[in-house]
Amino acid sequence: MIKVLEAGLSTTIQDAGRYGHYHIGMPPSGAMDQFAHTVANYLVGNDKGAATVEMTYQGSDFKFTEDTVIAITGAEMAPELNGEPVSMWETLAVSDGDVLSLQFATNGARTYLAVAGGIDVTPVMESRSTYTLVGIGGYDGRTLEDGDTLTIGDAGADRSSLVGNSVADEHIPNYDDEDHIRIVLGLCDYRLTDESKEELCDAEWTVTPEADRVGYRLEGPEIEFKPREQPFGAGTDPSNVVDLGYPVGSIQVPQKPIVLMRDAVTGGGYATVGTVISTDRDLLSQRRTHQPVYFQSVTLEEALAARKARTETLESIRNSLTP
Amino acid sequence: MTTTTIKAPMPGVFYRRPDPDDPVFVEEGDHVEEGDVIGVVGVMKSFQDIKSDASGTVSKILVENEAAIEAGDDLVELELD
C-alpha cells in the first residue's frame, strides 16, 4: 500500500484513458502527458494501460508500506526518498517504511509516479482514470487527499531486477523549451477571417491560470470571425455554430482560444478552428500558467508521422530496458 | 534579526485579500503566527491558502496584489520572533 501523507494541489489516478464512450458525452480522461505516463509504466515493467499518479504543479508525499519498484517521470519535482535526492526517468527500489516526497514543478507542470503492478482502483467503464467533473473513476472519483491509502496492483513477479534502468537523455523532454505546439486546422477554420487564421499561428499565446485538465484557456490577440447570417440552431455569438462534436485537442474560440483537453465536453455549439495533434497535447499539458505557446499548422500526414515517430520512440525506450 | 521568506508553492495569481472588498490578510508590521494565512493563489479555477511557516513580524510584502507568480517566488519576508 501507499499512504498519501500530503496530497498536493491536484493529484489524481490516471491511465491511458476511458475510450469508446465519447458518443454518450464521456471524454477519455487519462494522463494528460501520455508519453511521460507510458514511460513511467515501462520503467516499472507495466503495460501503458496501468494506472499512475498524476501530480499537477505541486508534488505529493507518500509513505510505502511494502517493498516495490517505482519510477517518476514528467515535470521536474526534485524527488527525495527518505530525504535523499533520487533520479527521475529511472527505475527505483523502495522498501516498506520509505517516504517519497516531491516538491513543486519546475520544467513542466505534471509529474507521474508509476509503481510495479499499477495503482489498483476499481475500473469504471473499463478505465481507472479519474474524471472529477462527474466524480467517477480513480480514487472515489476525486483528487487525492491527505491520509488516503492507495492499493498497489499485483505485479505477478518480482520486478526488482529492473532497478537502475533509466531513459536515455535524448528521449527526456525539456518541457520548458517546448513552446511550439502543432495543430491541424479545421473543422471550422473557414469561419475565421484570413487575418485571424494567420494570427492564430503567428501570435504568442499565454497559458492562463485557469488552464486545467478540462481546457487550456489562452490569452492573446482578438480573433475575428467572418460576418455571416446566423444559421437556424446556432447561437448569436459569431463563434457559434449548429452543434458539432469536439475532437480532443480541438481549439474553440468563444472569445479567446480554449484547447479542449482530456476532461472536456465532447460536443457543443462553438466553432472549433483547429486541433492540437496527439503528441503535442502531451507537451501542451506540460506548459505552466503564464508560459508562452505558439501554434504551428501542420498537415494530417505530418500529424500521423509525428504519432508514428513517437510510437517508435516509446518502443525503443521499452526495448532499451534490461528486464 | 533572523528573517525568513515565505515562497509560493505553486504558480498562479497571488491575491492579498480573500475578496476584492475585504481587507488584506497581512500588512507590513503585522504579527503572524505559524499557520496564519498570508495570501491566496488562484490556479486551475481553485484558490489555495498560503500559510506562514513560522511566527514573526511581516517585514516586507514582496508581491503585489493580483501579480502573476511562479512556484518558488518570494512572497512575504518575516522577521522571526
Q: Which residues of B touch A (CB under 8 A)?
A: 9-13, 42-46, 48, 68, 70-72
> Considering chain A, what is the average pLDDT of its residues?
97
Q: Would the CB atoms of A104 and B43 count as touching at under 8 Å?
A: no
Residue range A138-157, pLDDT digits in tens: 999 999 999 999 999 999 99
pLDDT score at A238: 92
A289 touches chain B (CB under 8 A): yes
Question: Average pLDDT in the B44-63 region?
Answer: 95
Which CATH architecture is the domain B2-80 placed in? Answer: Beta Barrel (2.40)
Q: Where are the domains of chain A?
A: 2-175, 181-310
In the structure grid, which three cell numbers stand for residue A162, read together?
Answer: 529492473
Helices vs. strands in chain A: H and E counts, helices first: 4, 20
Residue B39's contacts (CB-CB under 8 Å, 6 or more residues apart) are B14, B15, B16, B25, B26, B50, B63, B75, B76
Q: Which residues of chain B does A290 touch, with a Cβ-Cβ cutoff of 8 Å? A: 11, 68, 70
Which CATH architecture is the domain A181-310 placed in? Answer: Beta Barrel (2.40)
pLDDT score at A38: 98
Of B44, B45, B71, the CB nearest to A104: B71
Question: ipTM score of the complex?
Answer: 0.91
Q: Where are the domains of chain B?
A: 2-80
Check pLDDT > 80 for residue A294.
yes
A107 touches chain B (CB under 8 A): no
In this prediction the pTM is 0.96
Q: Would the CB atoms of B11 and A290 count as touching at under 8 Å?
A: yes
pLDDT score at A278: 97
Question: Average pLDDT in the A120-148 region?
Answer: 98
Of A49-53, A312-316, B17-21, the least confident: B17-21
Name which of A208, A289, A290 to mutate to probe chain B: the one with the most chain B Cβ atoms within 10 A of its Cβ: A289
Residue range A236-253, pLDDT digits in tens: 999 999 999 999 999 999
Greatest Cα pair distance, chain A, in angstroms, is: 67
Check pLDDT > 80 for residue B1.
no
Q: Would the CB atoms of A104 and B9 count as touching at under 8 Å?
A: yes
From B13, which residue of chain A is nearest by alpha-carbon distance? A209
Q: Which residues of chain B does A211 touch, with a Cβ-Cβ cutoff of 8 Å? A: 44
CA distance linking residue A64 with residue A97, whole number of Å = 5
Residue range A152-177, pLDDT digits in tens: 999 999 999 999 999 999 999 999 99
Q: Would the CB atoms of B44 and A211 count as touching at under 8 Å?
A: yes
